Amino acid sequence: MSEQLAILDLVYDDLKRVEQKMRAMGGEAYGPLAEAFLHLLGSGGKRLRPALALVAYRFFYESASEKTIALAAAVETLHNATLVHDDLIDGALLRRGGTTLNAIWGRGATVLAGDYLFARSAGFAAESENVRVVQLFAETLRIICDGELRQLFSTGQWRQPVETYYKRISAKTASLFAAATRSAAILADAPADMEQALYDYGYHLGMAFQIVDDILDFTGDEVVLGKPVGSDLRQGIITLPFFYYLQAHPSPDALLATLEDYKQNNNHGNAGGAQNAGSASRPNGRQDPMAGVIASVRASEAIQHAAAEARDFAAQAKADLLILPDGECRQAMEELADFVVARQI
């Protein structure tokens, strides 16, 4: 992601305060955990979610209040907590090209480190001293967990209505983007219509963001992604490009038979066993049939179809902003919406 994004420039100083607040977690935590946090916080990520909260607040006030800094830290810490548990569940050893906590620690410690981050994020949210913010925050966490569970239990179910996909990404991604912008509007005491507009922007941006993420899982560079191409499909997670690919496929039954065969051989597809499914294991040098499917999806029109969908969401996000005053905040949010659908990582 480019460092030149206007949104990151605009809230640069505030983001530094958020970063400091998060790093201070290390000081209060048990030794090995503190080290793990520094590793986690230092492992990249562009702080998009806290930046969204900060710029939403900036529509109303020049500089972020301490409560807004705490809110932004809550959002980013919650995001990191879900990543720690996601990596554990997926058995992922790499993220953003670096080792995951899961790769360094065992299962138990990783579960507890994620729990600790959930606790800290709740603590940061409570520092906002705003009941509505705390309630929105708790409800968002609930929705994210619900979405992750739905994803886990639908693993390896190749034929799903596309609505389940939208529901899933709405829960696991868009909800937190929307909570970030809405919470900031609440803390700024924004008029109801502007609070709603900022919520809608966050929601639509989050939808676009996740669809692009799911496209990049097929089209991205393994080195840049830091994980194998097509890892979602290998894990039995159905994303938008695959929905479109399956829809247009001349012999869907044969395709699904190939996937089912892969699933059986790799022992996926139940909520209990969805573990360590990210790699393309080929025992005895056998041909990997999944690689062929992934290459076909990557080369198909399904990618463009999904990208158009992402652009629609980004356009909706920009339209949501129209009732907000024009100026550097709105322009930065518009640029971000364009960037999200143009990005290559």
Contacts with its own copies by CB under 8 A lie at 29-30, 32-33, 85, 88-90, 105-109, 111-116, 118-120, 122-123, 125-127, 129-131, 134-135, 137-139, 141-142, 144-146, 148-150, 152-153, 270-275
The residue (of 33 and 194) whose beta carbon lies closer to its own copies is 33
The residue (of 129 and 221) whose beta carbon lies closer to its own copies is 129
Q: Shortest Cβ distance from residue 107 to its own copies (Å)?
A: 6
Q: Shortest Cβ distance from residue 127 to its own copies (Å)?
A: 8
Q: Shortest Cβ distance from residue 227 to its own copies (Å)?
A: 17
**Nearest-10 Cα torsion for 178, 226, 264, 102:** -80
Rg (alpha carbons) of the chain, rounded to whole number = 20
Measured over the CA atoms of residue 101, residue 106, residue 111 and residue 117, the dihedral's sign is: negative
The residue (of 17 and 120) whose beta carbon lies closer to its own copies is 120
The residue (of 104 and 291) whose beta carbon lies closer to its own copies is 104
CB 256 within 8 A of CB 289: no
The residue (of 7 and 69) whose beta carbon lies closer to its own copies is 69
Reading the block at residue 227, the tokens are 């994980």
CB 254 within 8 A of CB 289: no
CB 75 within 8 A of CB 50: yes
- Cα distances (angstroms) measured from residue 196 to each of 83, 103, 136, 185, 323: 28, 41, 13, 9, 10
Q: Shortest Cβ distance from residue 165 to its own copies (Å)?
A: 15
Q: Shortest Cβ distance from residue 273 to its own copies (Å)?
A: 6
Instruction: Indicate the angle between helix axes 192-219 and 289-299, nearest 10 degrees.
Output: 130
